[in-house]
Amino acid sequence: MSREPLSREEIARALQELDGWIFDNDRLVKQVAFGDFREAMGFIVRVAFEAESLDHHPDLHNVYNRVTLALNTHDAGGKVTAFDVALAKKIDRL
């Protein structure tokens, strides 16, 4: 999988296959709400295992029952790459 930055057109096509993700400030971003804090933390742990399997780690932010994920590739100058799209797809399957 390439760590080259994707073009805006490639990102737009990828977003059509992703559930609830947006492109913002050179990142794929998604916010997910859960019933409570415990559910949100369980989701974060599952995301951690998926991220580790790709050796690609998201920025995570949690406030009570909300989790915000942001994906970009530091090795690509903080741009979105195929690694980010692959991780977003894994997260969507959780």
pLDDT tens digits for range 11-30: 999 999 999 999 999 999 99
Please give the pLDDT value at position 3.
Answer: 85
- Residues in the chain, pLDDT under 70: none
pLDDT for the residue numbered 1? 78
Fold of the domain spanning 8-92? Gyrase A; domain 2 (3.30.1360)
Residue 87: the pLDDT is 97
Contact 40, 94 (CB under 8 A): no
Domain chopping of the chain, boundaries: 8-92
- The crossing angle, in degrees rounded to 10, of helices 82-92 and 37-54 is 140
